[in-house]
C-alpha cells in the first residue's frame, strides 16, 4: 500500500539538507531527525557538517549513549511529530522503531524515514534507499509513503519477559553468538568484515540446538534466521521469497553451521545467488516459537537483545515508511 507524499522544495544544485516540507491537511509535516553525534565514518561526518541547515527548520534529537534513540523517538511521538527520521545504522533504526512502538498509537501517528549512516544498513538496502546521503535525503524530501509488515518478538531479558519490534530480520544461534563476539574497535576500522571475523570465532565454539515451531512446520538446527525482507548481512538474499507486505515471516533453519554449510552458501556470498535449498529448511509463517535446552542468544536487526525462548508474531502493513518514489 503506497501513498505519494512528495513535495517540491526549492534547493540549489549542490546538495542541501533542506527540511522535507511534506503537505498535510494541517500544513507542513513536522519532522524530527534522531542521530548519534559520535557516529564514525565519512557519511556520519558529512551529515554532521549539515546540522545547521537541518536544525534551521526541523527538530534534531541527539543520542547521548547506546540505547538513547529509543526514548527520544517516544518523546517525538508525544510531542506531536508526524515523521521521525533514524539517521544511523540498523541498530539506531531499531531503537527508533521501538521508541515509536512504546507510545500508544505510535505506529499510526508516525511515518518512519531512514538515513543510512551505519556499517551495513540492511533495511535501507531492502527499501532501495540510496547509500549516499544526498540521494537518501532526497527520498525523505520527496519519496513515497508505503505500509510494510511489522514483526514483534517476546523473549527473556535478564530473567524477565520482554517485547521488541523489528523491521528486517532476527536470528538465534550462530549469528547472535557472532554479534556477542564482535570487536567494536575492529568494526570501526574494517566495517562488515568484523562480523565475518566474529562468525569464524563463533564456529569454533559449541552452539546451542534450537527448535523452530510453527503451525505446520518444525525444525531444529544451530542457526535460525527470521526475515521480513529478502536481505541478510547486506545484500545476501537469504530470504528470496520474502515480501514486506504479505503478512508472513520467512524462516531459515540451518541444521549445522560448519565449513560444509559455508561452502554450500559460497555462491550466495560471492555472487548474490539465492540460498541453496540444501543448506537450510525454509518456510513461511504468521507465528513462530524458538526454544533451546541450553542458553541461546537472540538478535534483532543486528543487535543482541536477550535469550530464548522467544515467540514471534507479525502485523500486516502496520509500519509506515518512506521509500523511493
Residue ranges of the domains in the chain? 2-142, 151-316
pLDDT in tens, 11-23: 322 344 444 445 5
- What pLDDT shows up at residue 4? 41
- Pick from 154, 69, 158: nearest CA to 117: 69
Question: At how many degrees (to 10) do helices 174-181 and 193-203 cross?
Answer: 110
- What pLDDT shows up at residue 225? 95
CATH code given to domain 2-142:
3.40.50.10330
pLDDT of 87 above 70: yes
pLDDT in tens, 153-192: 999 888 888 999 999 999 998 888 877 766 656 566 655 5
For residue 10, count CB atoms less than 10 angstroms from its CB and return exposed for 0-12, middle for 13-18, buried for 19 or more. exposed
Peptide bond into 320 cis (omega under 30): no
Cell numbers given for 177: 553468538
- What pLDDT shows up at residue 321? 98
Query: How would you classify residue 301: left for phi > 0, otherwise alpha for psi between -120 and 50, otherwise beta?
Result: left
- From 3.30.200.20, 2.60.200.40, 1.10.3720.10, 3.20.20.80, which CATH number describes the 151-316 domain? 2.60.200.40
- What pLDDT shows up at residue 198? 62
- The 3-state secondary structure of 180-232 reads HHCCHHHHHHHCCHHHHHHHHHHHCCCCCCEEEECCCCEEEECEEEEECCCCE
Cell numbers given for 60: 534534531
- Pick from 174, 294, 194, 300: nearest CA to 249: 300
Measured CA to CA, the distance from residue 180 to residue 47 in angstroms comes to 29
pLDDT in tens, 244-279: 999 999 999 999 887 667 667 666 666 667 777 778
- Pick from 41, 31, 46, 245: nearest CA to 140: 31
Measured CA to CA, the distance from residue 31 to residue 74 in angstroms comes to 14
- What pLDDT shows up at residue 201? 64
Average pLDDT for 188-216? 74
pLDDT of 9 above 70: no
List, in sequence order, every beta strand (DSSP E) within the chain.
2-4, 31-35, 59-62, 83-88, 111-116, 144-157, 160-166, 169-173, 210-213, 218-221, 223-227, 249-254, 281-285, 287-291, 297-300, 303-323
Amino acid at each position: 500500500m503506497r501513498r505519494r507524499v512528495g513535495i517540491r522544495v526549492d534547493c540549489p544544485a549542490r546538495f542541501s539538507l533542506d527540511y522535507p516540507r511534506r503537505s498535510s491537511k494541517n500544513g507542513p509535516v513536522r519532522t524530527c531527525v534522531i542521530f548519534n553525534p559520535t557516529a564514525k565514518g565519512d557519511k556520519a561526518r558529512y551529515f554532521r557538517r549539515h546540522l545547521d541547515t537541518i536544525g534551521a527548520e526541523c527538530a534534531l534529537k541527539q543520542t547521548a549513549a547506546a540505547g538513547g534513540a529509543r526514548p527520544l523517538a517516544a518523546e517525538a511521538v508525544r510531542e506531536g511529530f508526524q515523521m521521525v527520521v533514524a539517521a544511523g545504522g540498523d541498530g539506531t533504526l531499531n531503537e527508533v522503531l521501538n521508541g515509536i512502538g512504546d507510545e500508544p498509537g505510535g505506529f499510526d501517528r508516525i511515518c518512519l524515514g531512514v538515513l543510512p549512516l551505519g556499517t551495513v544498513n540492511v533495511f535501507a538496502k531492502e527499501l532501495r534507499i540510496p547509500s549516499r546521503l544526498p540521494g537518501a535525503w532526497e527520498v525523505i524530501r520527496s519519496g513515497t509513503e508505503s505500509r510494510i509488515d511489522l514483526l514483534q518478538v517476546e523473549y527473556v531479558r535478564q530473567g524477565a519477559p520482554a517485547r521488541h519490534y523489528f523491521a528486517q530480520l532476527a536470528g538465534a544461534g550462530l549469528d547472535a553468538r557472532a554479534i556477542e563476539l564482535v570487536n567494536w574497535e575492529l568494526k570501526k576500522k574494517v566495517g562488515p568484515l568484523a562480523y565475518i571475523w566474529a562468525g569464524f570465532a563463533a564456529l569454533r565454539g559449541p552452539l546451542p540446538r534450537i527448535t523452530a515451531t510453527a503451525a505446520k512446520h518444525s525444525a531444529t538446527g544451530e542457526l535460525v534466521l527470521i526475515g521480513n525482507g529478502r536481505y541478510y548481512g547486506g545484500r545476501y538474499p537469504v530470504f528470496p521469497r520474502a515480501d514486506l507486505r504479505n503478512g508472513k515471516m520467512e524462516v531459515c533453519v540451518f541444521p549445522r553451521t560448519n565449513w560444509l554449510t559455508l561452502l554450500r552458501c559460497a555462491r550466495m556470498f560471492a555472487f548474490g545467488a539465492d540460498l541453496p535449498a540444501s543448506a537450510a529448511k525454509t518456510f513461511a509463517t504468521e507465528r513462530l516459537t524458538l526454544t533451546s535446552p541450553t542458553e541461546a542468544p537472540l538478535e534483532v536487526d543486528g543487535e543482541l537483545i536477550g535469550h530464548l525462548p522467544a515467540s514471534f508474531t507479525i502485523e500486516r502493513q502496520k509500519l509506515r515508511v518512506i521509500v523511493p518514489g
